[in-house]
Amino acid sequence: MQIAQLRVHGHKKTRAETGGLKMNGEDNNENSDVVRACAVAQNIEDFDLLIEDMEAEYGENWGGLTFENAPDILISDLASNLECIVIAVGKPDEDNLAPVANVIRVAKEQKINVILVPHDLNTVALHQLMRMGADDFAPYPLPEGALHDAIERANDIPEPVAPVVETAPASAAEPASAPLGNRQGIVLPVYGLAGGVGASTFAANLAWELQQNLVKENKKVCILDFDFQYGSVSTYLDVPRTEQAFEFLSEAAAADAESLKQAMSTYKDRLDVLPAPPDSLPLEFIGAEEVDHLIKLAKRSYDFVIIDLPQALVSWSETILDHAHLYFGLVELDMRSAQNTLRFLRTLKAEDLPFEKVQFVLNRAPKFTDMNGKTRVKRMADSLEIVFRFQLPDGGKPVANSGDEGEALKELVPKNPLRKEILKIAKTLSEMAGDDEG
């Protein structure tokens, strides 16, 4: 049965009887025939640079497999000498990742290291494959030494685990990180119940006002942009969307305080911002367990954790609500906000979720002298059986301008009525933190 090919210095030698992999005890004195690694691809000939690197790394001691025959080979005695498999995945494979995932699963069950070599693969597909258990990846076309480095890292994976666990408590020697791990952060998610109600503007400016208000008390604030598709916090605060943030989220289950710090961008050297990834990703990009881990990590590292949420409710929305001390729900004085608020409350009550945590914030509220507007506000609150904890005035065009210029309202238009109201909320929250400590 012809199921694999052994490559010797660029030539192919078919082994019909053994599938291309040397069994234990067969020609033991011919060590050059023992296959130490395999390259797996739908068509390995499409990855000529990978062929060259495999030959440079393993000489003649590597074999070629396809997605179809790889699982059977990997569970057989033929794979007993395998150190790793290198899986090459191209754009055409995106439509059906199941065979690739099956190869990864079988390899990990056999305790064989897995290196991914993606070629024009979108970030969602790459993330899915990495979550299935791949140890490392090297992009194709392969930069010089990239495959070698990936193999080295994969081989070293078991060794760094113990040092990480041991050194975490000993971080007292590092004054910057020692206090971060001992905090008990207050989690404040911000949720817009309709598009364009100003939730991201509110979240970004609230985070900055809190940080400015608490800087003398040596307290730290961060803002996490969990709208993985169209998050705009990085735009409003003019911080870069980085690959580090994407990589951090991709490995959220194994994240620690140091990786969180490295993933953060900084606004004016004071406010830490976890931006949305550079590319638009599904909101289920990470699951409830990963979100739970990230929030716990952020709570230990910061005194206030502001989370800008997507409008859609997803599998981890309940996790956010469970962690929240207060959950800001922003609405406007219009029918769509009212209808969405009604649906939202019904969902929370149906699932027996703590809806009492939700603090409704009315944005672009009518002015004090607008009696007709105030009547509409009261009618809306009564019909929905809610209370508007805060009412934010319309800041006008300067608010949009500040977002376009990537500056907080405090920096650009400090006397804007919206900025003044957000400052009041920040001071109230700061006092709440002080009361909790007392």
- Give the other-Cβ count within 10 Å of 217's Cβ: 12
Q: For residue 23, what is the DSSP state?
A: P
Q: What residues pair up with 393 in beta bridges, in sequence order?
A: 365
Same domain, 111 and 256: no
Kindly state whether residues 351 and 258 are assigned to the same domain: yes
Q: Indicate if 150 and 194 belong to the same structural domain.
A: no
- Please check whether residues 123 and 189 belong to one and the same domain: no
Q: List, edge to edge, every strand of the sheet that includes 327-331.
A: 265-267, 271-274, 221-225, 304-308, 186-192, 327-331, 358-365, 388-393
Q: Within this chain, do residues 262 and 392 fall inside the same structural domain, yes or no?
A: yes
Q: What is the pLDDT along the chain (438 residues), one digit of tens a residue?
A: 333 443 433 334 333 333 444 433 334 344 556 888 999 999 888 899 999 999 998 888 888 999 999 999 898 888 888 889 999 998 888 888 888 988 998 998 888 999 989 888 776 677 677 767 788 878 888 878 888 888 887 776 443 333 333 334 433 333 343 344 677 899 999 999 999 999 999 999 999 999 999 988 889 999 999 999 999 999 999 999 988 999 999 888 889 999 999 999 999 999 999 999 988 888 888 999 999 999 999 999 999 999 999 999 999 999 999 999 999 999 999 999 999 999 999 999 998 888 889 999 999 999 988 999 999 999 999 999 999 999 999 999 999 999 999 999 999 999 999 999 999 999 999 876 655 554
In terms of domains, do 313 and 186 share one? yes
In a domain, 13, yes or no: yes
73 within 8 A of 21, measured Cβ to Cβ = yes
Query: Do 143 and 225 reside in the same domain of the chain?
Result: no
**CATH number for position 142:** 3.40.50.2300
Distance in angstroms (rounded) separating the CA atoms of residues 438 and 427: 17
Say if residue 120 is in the same domain as residue 27. Answer: yes
Measured distance CA(430)–CA(438) in Å, rounded: 13
Phi, psi (degrees; rounded to nearest 5) at 399? -70, -45
* Exposed e or buried b per residue across 414-425, where buried means at least 16 C-beta atoms within 10 angstroms of its C-beta: eebbbbebbbeb
Q: Are residues 309 and 187 in the same domain?
A: yes
* 100 belongs to a structural domain: yes
CB 212 within 8 A of CB 410: yes
Residue 180 backbone phi and psi in degrees, to 5: -65, -35
Task: Tell me whether residue 293 is in a domain.
Answer: yes
* Total structural domains within the chain: 2
Q: Which domain holds residue 204?
A: 182-437
Is 191 inside any structural domain?
yes
Q: What's the pTM?
A: 0.61
Any domain includes 336:
yes
For residues 199 and 243, membership in a common domain is answered with: yes
Given 101, 122, 156, the domain boundary residue is 156
Count Cβ neighbours within 10 Å for each residue of 145-182 and write b for 16 or more, e otherwise: ebbeebbebbeeeeeeeeeeeeeeeebeeeeeeeebee
**Helix locations, 215-271, DSSP H:** 233-236, 243-250, 257-263
> Do 294 and 351 share a structural domain?
yes
Shared domain check, 230 and 120: no
Determine the Cα–Cα distance for residues 70 and 37; give it in Å rounded to an integer: 12
Among 156, 191, 207, where does a domain finish? 156
What CATH number is given to the structural domain containing 339? 3.40.50.300
172 in a structural domain: no
167 assigned to some structural domain: no
Evaluate whether residue 426 is within a structural domain: yes
DSSP 143: P
